Amino acid sequence: MATFNGELYIEEQLNSILHQLGNNDEVIISDDGSKDKTIDIVKSFKDPRIKIFHSTFHNVIQNFENTLYKASGDIIFLSDQDDIWYPNKVKESLKILQNNDLVFSNLSVFSSTKNDNYTMFDFRKNYNGIGRNFIKNHCVGATMGFKSHLLKYALPFPKNIEMHDMWIFFISSFYGKAYYYNQPLIYYRRHGLNVSNTGGKTTNSLFKILEIRIVWIISLLRRIVKIAFSK
């Protein structure tokens, strides 16, 4: 979990996560210089599974990258500080990861209460594959779980990528197998301060979309070549 001034919602999120974890699991938190009570709230849990690291990146991608360098588990879940996990998120994800390297799911979007929500993506559509996610990304990082072996291909993150979730998805599709679960596994909170606040809608111009995708392609090709020559 990457945090920054998350005092309003982080307690609810951590409660939804910790109830699903085992004694040997860990919650890695990289805090990017919060000025509010985020760290105090996290420490109030007094849970030895929570490990806090401090950073001064002022950048969400680098902050998430820091959490991944600190993680030691075989299975890694990404988490935002302001969402709520479904009670069955870990259980369902682990089932899928028995035969896949990465899972991402649908999500329920809400703003006031989680009972007043809508599903971000159409239940009837399948969003598996790079082709279906190349123009419009449906792989939301907050829904992702993946096997840690992917990190040897994904890290470090390229400096010029738009967001870390699409990069990890591309890597998993090339060096493993990614799977889309069409049911929601998190409540995705919209409150006006989200890092990404488009509600599933593409807001970039066509030129900007093309520019971003070209960067993805170049970054992926460079990583593939680098890995191939390092063997």
Query: What six digits make up the tokens of 70?
Result: 């600190």
Residue 231 is predicted with a pLDDT of 75
pLDDT digits (tens, 9 = 90+) for 114-162: 888 999 999 999 999 988 888 788 999 999 999 999 999 999 999 989 8
pLDDT digits (tens, 9 = 90+) for 48-65: 999 999 999 999 999 999
Query: What six digits make up the tokens of 57?
Result: 């990146």
Q: Which of 148-157, 173-182, 195-204 has the lowest mean pLDDT?
A: 195-204
Rounded CA gap, 197 and 191, in Å? 8
Strand partners, 119: 108
Mean pLDDT value of segment 7-12 = 97
CATH of 2-230, one of 1.10.560.10, 3.10.20.90, 3.40.50.1360, 3.90.550.10: 3.90.550.10
Q: Count helices and strands (H / E) in the chain.
A: 8, 9
Rounded CA gap, 160 and 173, in Å? 20
pLDDT digits (tens, 9 = 90+) for 85-103: 999 999 999 999 999 999 9
Q: Exposed, middle or buried by CB within 10 Å (0-12, 13-18, 19+), for 119?
A: middle
**Which positions ≥6 away from 161 have C-beta within 8 Å?**
61, 167, 215, 216, 219
**Which positions ≥6 away from 41 have C-beta within 8 Å?**
7, 10, 11
Residue 208 has pLDDT above 60, yes or no: yes
Q: Across all residues in the chain, what is the average pLDDT?
A: 92
Residue 199 has pLDDT above 50, yes or no: no
Query: What six digits make up the tokens of 71?
Result: 């993680």
**Shortest CA distance to 84 belongs to which of 194, 193, 195, 188?**
188
- Check: CB of residue 94 under 8 Å from CB of residue 179: no
Q: Which residue has the higher pLDDT, 96 or 231?
A: 96
Residue 195 is predicted with a pLDDT of 53
Annotate 157-205 with three-state secondary structure: CCCCCCCHHHHHHHHHHHHCCEEEEEEEEEEEECCCCCCCCCCCCCCCC
Mean pLDDT value of segment 168-178 = 95
Residue 193 is predicted with a pLDDT of 57
Rounded CA gap, 109 and 123, in Å? 14
- Check: CB of residue 210 under 8 Å from CB of residue 135: no
Residue 145 is predicted with a pLDDT of 98
Residue 207 is predicted with a pLDDT of 82
The number of angstroms, rounded, from the C-alpha of 54 to the middle of its chain's C-alpha atoms is 19
